[in-house]
Structure 1
């Protein structure tokens, strides 16, 4: 509804390339060139004078015909330009015009009953897809379960049972002593996800991969999300959100700190309440931001007016 023109593309990539090239675009923006083989092939061709990427997985495409990659200014650390074949453009703010999650109108008792949570257990949740819960993350999960004898870890059941079985086997082989305190739950829709976030004590995310939408949901609901930022943008989205609201209680700086932070928030209910209130009271800062959009439009204006090598 916000586009001047919508052009359906055929399934044949060569035909699609001809259609796009025929539009006479000044700039062609791929949100995520690596989304699939079809998009990757299109992005490998020069279909507009200036071609940019950004808004997807925040990693280089490695394609010579993508000129710029756009990210939020805090997503990459100093020197992050070396990880991109494209010229890196840092935009102020979050580079996402997010909206706050719908409030969950359920009591604590109702949430516990809905997700079958025992009152005498501390509940941790890893709601990310299993393929981003890498083997390097396993020891952190296992250590939390060992140090908190009342802990239960919830994972979202994947659509394909093979993922469930493969991940479970890997974890059980290396951490058999605590593998029995993990449980897969079925999340059918967004309403389910939001209620699950509110039901648990702490949400954990993989240091290898952050999901910006998960951060917006957790922080918008006042749910502590423990994060361990790395050097690359893909592991710094949640940290950037915490920087925006100036709350750092859930940000860890090394593996042991990640474990300690999660344990403290889950076992010290008063501390969790204080942190939750701090997050919730400032989370409005994250939503409806325009600074990235304004900077993006200015970048496009400069890009159209100048040769590609003179834009920045």
Structure 2
């Protein structure tokens, strides 16, 4: 081996990969030891790319290093794999990643890690049949984690529903696969290795209590350690001078959960409560994150990749009550909720669906959100805050000057029907609503927000085009906007179209702040009734429809009858104060939390008496 390569190896050992690569290129330019030089060059470029990606988050630069490594050594398995990770995780290019992963697996068929990444990319690309096959192979290849792969395979649910029949069809498929898991003996040694939640199922307008409870029990059968109990629980005798309350989420930043949690962290009575913020993994740092942290008595961040360490960290706080701000939106919070980390554990509307987890005690809702016998939809005990239009102390959004329609590409004659929800909330019933509006209003423009991620927009466009045909040219997608620009867009709307089966919350509060009317059609479950509950709190029910036909009629009237729209806007502006910075809501939550603790103490006391008898 020539001197340049000897120097290259020495430099690489010191982490000087750029300099080492230069020595390799010198050897190649001289025609010396070409095979070895290319191998060492590929290794240097691979190590440089890995360092750029993991230490610096410099994914563009890392991509180039991995591509150069593959140019030097096309069969470099790790370079193929890591380039795939960059493309599907950080660049939203899963199709390209799939090609790389499959090439890497052809070279190293035994790699579980690469196969797991392939399954994730196939799901992201919408290749569900291929993803299913990959997951089933993984279950056979890695039996200690088989249950995790089989649960994921059972829950291969398309985020954008392709047609009306899909929600029932996919549930029948899931139920059959859960049957097999219940009767089998698949295990899951590391639940965080390849986790899944029920998240996409919550948007279909169908109750999930039975399915989510079955899913939870399958998790417990496959990984009994999930029900771990904090050591202090056995000797807990009730709160001390103050109730030690933990508020837990992975989304305490500029996010819908940050918006709805911030006020509670700030306003809880510190003479009664010690408020500990439990961050589930590191989250983005922004003004919202800083404000929430500054309002807490203490901030604790648990590791996102070590379930037992996360449990032990929370257990060490010896909380009286653990309040998950959301469950089901990400895996760590879901898996933590299986453990008994506090004497009382509850959740609320952050993700408004029952979790079905035995150790989750209460679900906090509003009587304005629930129908009679609503408890039937919850595995948790339902606690209803009376008269709450929103289950948060919600800070009023900033004031903005009215937007300029032309800045968003619209003319003065256009009537803007804005549906600003994330695209997977738009169920097939909305397609028909859009179609009727476009048919009956020649100047109508349906305006949607394009998040520019995953396969959401193309999947929705395919479905919409099948219903709307030529009218599709009056559906406009606006790229995600900076927050103040988004509020200006909302101010331009003639009417906001609330999504059926899963209403808006933050988006509708922002619209009401600006006096922009929202048409809604409530269903049975809480997530279908948020906007109706908000209107009830304002004492204004004129825009709550009782049928699809009524919904369309109200939307058309708002867009075309300026006097009617003006009256509705004035009423909303006059009544919306009840939705923002509502101190009474915080006091009601404090009472509810105290009642939960009282019930837990009574149960504990009764258990001791029964034991003594």
Q: Answer yes or no: same fold by TM over 0.5.
A: yes
Q: Which residue of 1 aligns with 2:393?
A: 97
**What TM-score, normalized to structure 1?**
0.94
Q: Which residue of 2 aligns with 1:266?
A: 559
After TM superposition, give the deviation of residue 308 of structure 1 in Å.
6.2
After TM superposition, give the deviation of residue 80 of structure 1 in Å.
0.7
Q: Which runs of 5+ in 2 are unaligned?
A: 1-293, 605-613
The separation in 2 between residues aligned to 1:176 and 1:132, in whole angstroms, is 21
Q: Secondary structure at the match of 1:6?
A: strand
The separation in 2 between residues aligned to 1:300 and 1:290, in whole angstroms, is 16
CA contact (8 A) 2:343 2:600 kept: no
After TM superposition, give the deviation of residue 161 of structure 1 in Å.
6.0
Mapped pair 1:202 → 2:495: yes
After TM superposition, give the deviation of residue 90 of structure 1 in Å.
0.1
Tell me how many residue pairs correspond in the alignment: 308
Q: Secondary structure at the match of 2:571?
A: helix
The separation in 2 between residues aligned to 1:306 and 1:183, in whole angstroms, is 52
CA-based RMSD of the aligned residues comes to 1.6
**What TM-score, normalized to structure 2?**
0.49
Q: Which residue of 2 aligns with 1:147?
A: 440
> Which digits, 9 at most, give the CA deviation of each residue in 1:64-114, with x for residues without a partner?
1101000122111111100000000001223211122222213xxx61121
Q: Which runs of 5+ in 1 are unaligned?
A: none
Q: 1:23 aligns with which of 300, 311, 317?
A: 317
> Which digits, 9 at most, give the CA deviation of each residue in 1:216-238, with x for residues without a partner?
11111100111111111101111
> Which digits, 9 at most, give the CA deviation of each residue in 1:128-179, with x for residues without a partner?
0110001122111111111111111111112226211110011101221321
Q: Which residue of 2 aligns with 1:121?
A: 414
Mapped pair 1:86 → 2:380: yes
The separation in 2 between residues aligned to 1:224 and 1:113, in whole angstroms, is 21
**Stretch moving more, 16-25 or 260-269:** 16-25
Q: Which residue of 2 aligns with 1:212?
A: 505
Q: Secondary structure at the match of 2:470?
A: coil
After TM superposition, give the deviation of residue 249 of structure 1 in Å.
2.3
**Stretch moving more, 263-272 or 113-122:** 113-122
After TM superposition, give the deviation of residue 309 of structure 1 in Å.
7.0
Q: Which residue of 1 aligns with 2:453?
A: 160
The separation in 1 between residues aligned to 2:335 and 2:295, in whole angstroms, is 27
The separation in 2 between residues aligned to 1:308 and 1:141, in whole angstroms, is 53
> Which digits, 9 at most, give the CA deviation of each residue in 1:188-230, with x for residues without a partner?
2210111011111111011111121112111111001111111
The separation in 1 between residues aligned to 2:454 and 2:322, in whole angstroms, is 38
Q: Which residue of 2 aligns with 1:179?
A: 472
Larger radius of gyration: 2
**Stretch moving more, 125-134 or 150-159:** 150-159
